[in-house]
A and B are shown apart, each in its own frame.
Chain A
């Protein structure tokens, strides 16, 4: 493997790790309005939150089994679809997670500023 390819693969893995936690926030927030899997994924992608089906559907099932989402099968356009929305417990958890997210963001902002690596709003790019 060339150094460039190795570096790309490393970046991909780190990016995936970084995004994994954010996906829960994004999905819970997006499901304030009821949606089925396909439209939810499209909505997330349109907002820049790339997620593949293989990640989204297992995540939805996990969040539902944890009581953060509720779902029901319903017919729409002559086809049965499973609609998801955030539960009451999910709303409370989302609120707490967003507070946590803000704390992490503020800490990171402070670290970046002190280390001279820019800020979250403006991170230096290139070498």
Chain B
């Protein structure tokens, strides 16, 4: 009997206080009825191990109590797919740049590498873990509030098939995107080539930042990258449809960009800063800081281009001849 009371007490703990006594009284009666029946079959009282086996058969107290409780969830099945989608996007946008910068620093900054390898990696992983908690908590909290919003009518009634996103062919290239890419490529490319040619990065108010002569050798590779990218963007603008060859060309162009950026970052050629107003070691510090910032940007750029090249290769392999495939549009 002691086992029975222990069991009932454990079940009671999980029940809502307003129903505890009622449910426990009924459960006690049910178990005792079962025991009485068993005892009359056996012609004797139940032994302790028989009690134990009978109660085990009833189930763990938490699971028994759970069946009396209303079904509750932080985010219900209706909102869960949207929650999962937003969570993935948030984590990707928040963590990927962090990881990219971290890898870039480890690869291209000997000083950073010296302080962040070995056991110090765990410290960085701790920071990464804390950084993941922030978007996770915010997204979960927002969806939990939405879940509890009383009026979910907009989800079930306030919608129209007409308002759903237009059907989009997954292989169709947006002309707007190609146009923006073409303009940005041209403007940025010419600006950067001019810098490589004149070797002057910045000149204003007596401060002049110039590239070392070693940078000059990167002029022609960057020129080639600019030509290829501009040609591809132009072609995409005129014939806005992905083919396997076009995807492969895009993969190749991204790979070419990644390789060029990698070699620039690896060179780590210091920039020269002339600033009469700044004296002594501070000029050297400024020069190092600008060089480091630029090198880091190239390193991150190289990693991103490499990733894009891999994605384009994968997409090129996936393109099938036949009926067009629908893209995955976001719609609620």
Interface residues of A (CB under 8 A from B): 36-38, 53-55, 57-58, 61, 73, 79-82
Residues on B with C-beta less than 8 A from A73 are 25
Is A61's CB under 8 angstroms from B68's CB?
yes
Closest A residue to B58 by beta carbon equals A53
Is B33's CB under 8 angstroms from A38's CB?
yes
Q: Of the candidates B29, B58, B59, B64, which one forms a contact with A80 in the assembled complex, judged by CB atoms under 8 Å apart?
A: B29
Closest B residue to A57 by beta carbon equals B26
Is B26's CB under 8 angstroms from A82's CB?
yes
Is A54's CB under 8 angstroms from B64's CB?
yes
Is B32's CB under 8 angstroms from A79's CB?
yes
Closest B residue to A41 by beta carbon equals B30
Residues on A with C-beta less than 8 A from B59 are 54
The contact string, 1 if C-beta is below 8 Å from chain A, for chain B 51-66, is 0000000110001100
Residues on A with C-beta less than 8 A from B33 are 38
Residues on B with C-beta less than 8 A from A79 are 29, 32
- Contact residues, B83-114 vs A (CB, 8 A): none
Residue B285 interfacial (CB < 8 Å): no
Is A55's CB under 8 angstroms from B29's CB?
no
- Least distance between B197 CB and chain A CB atoms (Å): 67
Residue B67 interfacial (CB < 8 Å): yes
Using A54-B63, A54-B67, A61-B68 as known contacts, say yes or no to A80 and B30 having CB atoms under 8 A apart. Answer: no
Q: How far, in whole Å, are A82 and B33 apart by their CA atoms in the complex?
A: 12
Residues on B with C-beta less than 8 A from A36 are 29
Residue B74 interfacial (CB < 8 Å): no
Q: How far, in whole Å, are A37 and B26 apart by their CA atoms in the complex?
A: 8
Q: Of the candidates A55, A57, A80, A81, which one forms a contact with B27 in the assembled complex, judged by CB atoms under 8 Å apart?
A: A57
Using A38-B30, A38-B34 as known contacts, say yes or no to A80 and B68 having CB atoms under 8 A apart. Answer: no
Is A81's CB under 8 angstroms from B63's CB?
no
Residues on A with C-beta less than 8 A from B25 are 73, 80, 82
Q: Other than A82-B26, A82-B29, give 20 A-B pairs with Cβ distance below 8 A.
A: A36-B29, A37-B26, A37-B29, A37-B30, A53-B27, A54-B58, A54-B59, A54-B63, A54-B64, A54-B67, A57-B23, A57-B27, A57-B30, A57-B67, A57-B68, A73-B25, A79-B32, A80-B25, A81-B29, A82-B25
What are 9 A-to-B residue pairs whose CB atoms are below 8 Å?
A: A53-B30, A54-B67, A57-B23, A57-B26, A57-B30, A61-B23, A61-B68, A80-B25, A82-B25
- B23, B27, B30, B34, most chain A CB atoms within 10 A: B30
Residues on B with C-beta less than 8 A from A55 are 67
Q: How far, in whole Å, are A38 and B28 apart by their CA atoms in the complex?
A: 11
Residues on A with C-beta less than 8 A from B30 are 37-38, 53, 57
- A53, A79, A81, A82, most chain B CB atoms within 10 A: A53
Q: How far, in whole Å, are A109 and B65 apart by their CA atoms in the complex?
A: 39
- Least distance between B62 CB and chain A CB atoms (Å): 12
Q: How far, in whole Å, are A37 and B22 apart by their CA atoms in the complex?
A: 13
Q: How far, in whole Å, are A38 and B26 apart by their CA atoms in the complex?
A: 10
Residues on A with C-beta less than 8 A from B23 are 57, 61
- Least distance between B234 CB and chain A CB atoms (Å): 55
Q: How far, in whole Å, are A84 and B30 apart by their CA atoms in the complex?
A: 14
Residues on B with C-beta less than 8 A from A61 are 23, 68
Residues on B with C-beta less than 8 A from A57 are 23, 26-27, 30, 67-68
- Least distance between A20 CB and chain B CB atoms (Å): 13
Residues on A with C-beta less than 8 A from B32 are 79
Is A38's CB under 8 angstroms from B29's CB?
yes
Residues on B with C-beta less than 8 A from A54 are 58-59, 63-64, 67
- Least distance between A24 CB and chain B CB atoms (Å): 16
Residues on B with C-beta less than 8 A from A58 are 67-68
Residues on A with C-beta less than 8 A from B29 are 36-38, 79-82
Q: How far, in whole Å, are A55 and B63 apart by their CA atoms in the complex?
A: 11
Q: How far, in whole Å, are A79 and B67 apart by their CA atoms in the complex?
A: 25
Residues on A with C-beta less than 8 A from B68 are 57-58, 61
Closest A residue to B19 by beta carbon equals A61
